[in-house]
Structure 1
Amino acid sequence: MRNYFTTVLIVFGMSISLGQEKDAPEFAGENFSLEGALTMLKKASTIEEFEQLINDERNDINNLDLNNDGNIDYITVEDVIEKDSHVLVLTALVGENEKQDIATIVIEKTGNEEARLQIFGDEDLYAENTIAEPFETNEKMGAEKGPAMPEIITNRIVVNVWTWPSVRFVFAPGYQVWISPIRWAAYPRWWKPWRPIRHSLFIGRCHVHKVYFHRTPTRRVVVHKSYKTRRHTSTTVVKSKRGTTVIHKGRAGKVRAVHTRRR
């Protein structure tokens, strides 16, 4: 009888483990909502406020725990300027001396009161060419064919983001370039880490952010060289064709576990 219950417990434990593995995303970055980040940027008045919004548990933006310490990683924001472009770099603090870039938001001024932007998922955490952007729809009547009702054609168009308060803020005269002062273990008083939730639950919660933002394969803005020389990568994150592998190290630097995120 004892052996029977032992077998049941082992099978039950294996089932839970397999269920958790299946619930993990193929790429670790999918535990951070790119569309949600753009939603918060549109809402924010300053880049400092934007950083606060993406780190607010109530906004369902961040579910990353790249260092596997059981707590959500804090995301910092740094603005890198080149000519008429701003690159907002979103970076996870994963250790005392380690950071991992999550995504970059490139804002380009294209006219007197015109600007466009896209967010790019970092290549270590997302599938290749993962891009999101705001969109609007434009409807027009198609050609009439006989007595039938004319077809209504809906097109998605690129959004002019100049009206966003945060965009006008960074292009305003006298703007002080934002570089987050937050460092590992020196977090702001208003922020308290929380435990990550199941990926399927997180995706359901942040789906609301996809109403006005969508993924696109088309690059409309350019990530300049000035950012590429500053890009942060962590030895705890390795990407392959199978997904994102997060390598967990102990304080002595020894690898204690390797987890590959798969669907």
Structure 2
Amino acid sequence: MSVQDVIERIAASYSVSSQKALAEALDVPANNISSWIQRESVPYKAVVKCALDTGADLHWLVEGEFANAKLTDKPAPKGKALYNEILSTGGRPVLRRILDAYGFQMQKDLGDLLDISSGTISTWVRREFFPGDVVVTCALDTGVSLNWLATGKGEMYPAASTSAVQHEAALSIPKYRHESGELKEAGMWLLDRSLAPSSVDSLNFIEGLNAGWLVDTSAQKIGNGRWFIRIDDVLDVFDVVRLPGGKVRLTNHSADFECNVTEIEPFGVVIFTLEKHV
């Protein structure tokens, strides 16, 4: 784990953006924070104190993964008090929550996704700026709670999401992001049962930059159609045509070639594709 990330999540929970303010919140000397980072030593006592003080989820504080970011019964502020609270959580704390919502480790990943320069993102941190347009985009894009993104309070996912998963008309299946030839876990995805095949145990939803695919990983005998295929440990989606002699033609947006069927490894067949038109 990254000690820097742990400290950033603690700071995000306290809604502070400087080491001095964080040290005051944790009631420790100011130089302790930089010392933890230099020694790469996880401040577990600080983690526990933060969880008790703010209601932040311990698993999220340490690992960056969680079901709920916070569980608190404190009355929510309204009006000007809410506005001031949102502005006070700008800069690194809100950036930390945005990165965790998308499952990113690097600012560059966020910049590449939203076509925002690294300099702009660095300016948010330096000026403790609250990027409201990006916060709203992230909430709509990932399904996380707007309240949690903006203030660090409440549950990461709205309670409605839990009830929706349990609704008999919907299936909850694993969701992954396709990034640089690899799959990264991205929570769950809801699928209307009317769109699902008879067997649902091996279904996955894979999200790309401009498209998403419902994939049945139980299919392993390659035939004509659209498939996720691994070539030299790199996973990508191809339209496949079987050819005589044990050969196949693979085509996608950046490649068109023939090879032996034994040279490729099927991951699963695409049942349907969702494409973004922007």
TM-score (norm 2): 0.24
The answer to which structure has the higher strand fraction is: 1
Whose RCO is larger (CA < 8 A, sep 6+)? 1
The answer to which structure has the higher helix fraction is: 2
